[in-house]
């Protein structure tokens, strides 16, 4: 652990050095401003690890305050680094195409633009992350959907990440908004927490107020396994949620059966071999005359197995929609879908951008959501 932390800290220091060498000398300011820039980069280098290790500090509120500081610095650094990289091809084109005076102007103006744009993106991203998630309405057209299931609603929340910067008040607002939608089913598709039951039980307590005609259902995400999955599944059952671990329930809605299944996280077997994610097992024994088969699976990459098992719809999260640009461009290298409604053969897959956020309190180009999914017949 110490070696990994030392390696990560060294990489962070080198990246800050890169930003400093590429931006600070080109700024058209006096030495006092440049010195202030150097001091900030040194402070940022020291702050970044706090966002990840502060949780190990038992003293409160010190732990949360350190996490807040480190994670805010991480969000700003991310934009500084990306914009510094993007500045390089701009400078190359300017060097080849502009006269010396024009290139000098481009060099200084682009250097000023990097911290200004990074700060602006971080401020907007913070506001987007901390506001209450908006409701996204999604109609999913299913073949041979019984008339009784037309309009059946599932409200999905995902990737809230209750932890150092997301607490009870934040979750209370989400629960209020979900209940106001009066859904048939509530689906919580994993990554609910970042921390232990002992530390966070008071902050997840609002989940006991979730209200839906057929109840609220939960499946594990990878972060539950980082935080003690067995303890959390016990706690969520105590709060009244139905935890689906490679199993299903049959909901009789107006005489039409709907199968609602859930699988453990795609990576669960790395933590507990007995909890390997298995869509086939989740559907085993389900009635053949089900009007719809819906799977809750934290990661979109469960979709291949879900399609083979015979599901009609999969609800997932995990990706956060990339959370903030440009990381949304890289999600596709790990997951088949980044966000929204997609099709894989006969299976519909809806990937939520998440209802909270992970790490830096920052969302830019990937707004949080509470998703109201409605089943409708295919035309």
- Percent of the chain at pLDDT > 70 equals 98
Confidence at 347, pLDDT banded by 50, 70, 90:
very high
Instruction: Check if the beta carbon of residue 193 is closer than 8 Å to that of residue 358.
Output: no
Q: Is 291 helix (H, G, I), strand (E, B) or coil?
A: coil
CB atoms within 10 A of CB 330: 11
Per residue in 273-328, pLDDT (tens digit) is: 999 999 999 999 999 999 999 999 999 999 999 999 999 999 999 999 999 988 88
Q: What residues contact residue 357 under an 8 Å CB cut-off, 6+ apart?
A: 129, 159, 161, 166, 320, 323, 363, 368
Residues 144 and 207 occupy one common structural domain:
yes
Instruction: Check if the beta carbon of residue 160 is closer than 8 Å to that of residue 355.
Output: yes
Looking only at the bridges linking them, the beta strands covering 242-243 and 247-253 are unpaired
Q: Is 335 helix (H, G, I), strand (E, B) or coil?
A: coil
pLDDT at 145 exceeding the cut of 80: yes
Instruction: Check if the beta carbon of residue 159 is closer than 8 Å to that of residue 190.
Output: yes
Residue 192 sits at the vertex; the CA angle it makes with 187 and 195, to the nearest 5 degrees, is: 160
Instruction: Check if the beta carbon of residue 159 is closer than 8 Å to that of residue 191.
Output: yes
Between 359 and 156, name the one with better pLDDT.
Answer: 156
Q: Mean pLDDT, to the nearest integer, of 109-133?
A: 96
Instruction: Check if the beta carbon of residue 181 is closer than 8 Å to that of residue 372.
Output: yes
Confidence at 56, pLDDT banded by 50, 70, 90:
low
Q: Is 274 helix (H, G, I), strand (E, B) or coil?
A: helix
Residues 279 and 317 occupy one common structural domain:
yes
Between 329 and 113, name the one with better pLDDT.
Answer: 113
pLDDT at 1: 59
pLDDT at 300: 98
Q: What is the mean pLDDT of the chain?
A: 94
Q: What residues contact residue 212 under an 8 Å CB cut-off, 6+ apart?
A: 155, 182, 183, 184, 185, 186
Question: Which range among 59-73, 146-160, 196-210, 306-320 shows the weakest confidence by mean pLDDT?
Answer: 59-73
Among 66-70, 254-258, 263-267, the range of highest mean pLDDT = 263-267
Confidence at 263, pLDDT banded by 50, 70, 90:
very high
Residues 315 and 233 occupy one common structural domain:
yes
Confidence at 239, pLDDT banded by 50, 70, 90:
very high
Q: Point out the domain boundary residue: 98, 130, 162.
A: 130
Instruction: Check if the beta carbon of residue 67 is closer than 8 Å to that of residue 54.
Output: yes
Query: Taking the model in full, what pTM does it have?
Result: 0.92
Residues 93 and 121 occupy one common structural domain:
yes
Please give the residue range of the domain that contains residue 290: 134-377
Residues 264 and 351 occupy one common structural domain:
yes
- Percent of the chain at pLDDT > 90 equals 86
Q: Point out the domain boundary residue: 130, 146, 163.
A: 130
pLDDT at 45: 92
Question: Which range among 49-53, 175-179, 245-249 shows the weakest confidence by mean pLDDT?
Answer: 49-53
100 CA to centre of own chain: 46
Per residue in 85-114, pLDDT (tens digit) is: 999 999 999 999 999 999 999 999 999 999
Residues 39 and 62 occupy one common structural domain:
yes
* Selection from 102, 351, 317 nearest residue 222 by Cα: 317
pLDDT at 58: 65
Backbone torsions φ then ψ of 78, nearest 5 degrees: -55, -45
Question: Radius of gyration over alpha carbons of the chain, in Å?
Answer: 23
Residues 145 and 271 occupy one common structural domain:
yes
- Number of separate domains in the chain: 2
Indicate which CATH number applies to the domain containing 346: 3.60.21.10
pLDDT at 326: 87
Peptide bond into 61 cis (omega under 30): yes
pLDDT at 200: 95
pLDDT at 66 exceeding the cut of 90: no
Q: Mean pLDDT, to the nearest integer, of 145-153?
A: 96
Q: Mean pLDDT, to the nearest integer, of 179-194?
A: 97
CB atoms within 10 A of CB 20: 18
Spatial distance between the Cα atoms of 62 and 150, rounded to a whole number of angstroms? 51
pLDDT at 3: 79
Q: Point out the domain boundary residue: 111, 130, 149.
A: 130
Backbone torsions φ then ψ of 142, nearest 5 degrees: -115, 135
Residues 266 and 322 occupy one common structural domain:
yes
């Amino acid at each position: 652990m110490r070696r990994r932390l030392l390696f990560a800290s060294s990489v962070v220091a080198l990246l800050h050095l890169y930003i400093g060498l590429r931006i600070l000398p080109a700024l058209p300011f006096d030495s006092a401003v440049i010195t202030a820039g150097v001091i900030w980069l040194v402070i940022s280098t020291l702050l970044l690890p706090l966002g990840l290790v502060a949780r190990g500090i038992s003293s409160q509120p010190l732990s949360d305050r350190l996490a807040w500081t480190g994670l805010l610095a991480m969000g700003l650094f991310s934009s500084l680094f990306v914009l510094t990289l993007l500045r390089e091809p701009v400078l190359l084109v300017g060097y080849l195409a502009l006269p010396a005076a024009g290139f000098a102007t481009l060099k200084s103006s682009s250097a000023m633009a990097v911290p200004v744009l990074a700060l602006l993106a971080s401020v907007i991203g913070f506001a987007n992350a901390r506001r209450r998630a908006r409701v996204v309405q999604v109609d999913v057209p299913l073949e041979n959907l019984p008339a009784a299931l037309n309009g059946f609603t599932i409200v999905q929340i995902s990737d809230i990440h209750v932890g150092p910067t997301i607490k009870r008040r934040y979750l209370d607002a989400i629960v209020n908004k979900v209940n106001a939608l009066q859904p048939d089913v509530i689906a919580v598709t994993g990554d609910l927490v970042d921390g232990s039951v002992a530390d966070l039980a008071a902050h997840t307590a609002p989940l006991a107020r979730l209200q839906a005609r057929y109840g609220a259902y939960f499946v594990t995400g990878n972060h539950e396994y980082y935080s003690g999955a067995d303890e959390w599944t016990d706690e969520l059952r105590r709060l009244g949620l139905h935890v689906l671990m490679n199993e299903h329930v049959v909901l009789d809605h107006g005489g039409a059966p709907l199968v609602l299944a859930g699988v453990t996280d795609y990576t669960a077997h790395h933590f507990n071999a007995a909890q390997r994610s298995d869509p086939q097992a989740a559907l085993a024994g389900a009635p053949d005359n089900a009007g719809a088969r819906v799977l809750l699976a934290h990661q979109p990459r469960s979709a291949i197995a879900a399609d083979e098992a015979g599901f009609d719809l999969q609800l997932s999260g995990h990706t956060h929609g990339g959370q903030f640009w440009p990381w949304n461009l890289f999600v596709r290298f790990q997951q088949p879908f980044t966000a929204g409604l997609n099709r894989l053969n006969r299976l519909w897959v809806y990937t939520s951008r998440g209802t909270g956020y992970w790490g830096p309190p920052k969302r830019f180009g990937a707004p949080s959501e509470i998703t109201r999914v409605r089943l409708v017949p295919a035309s």
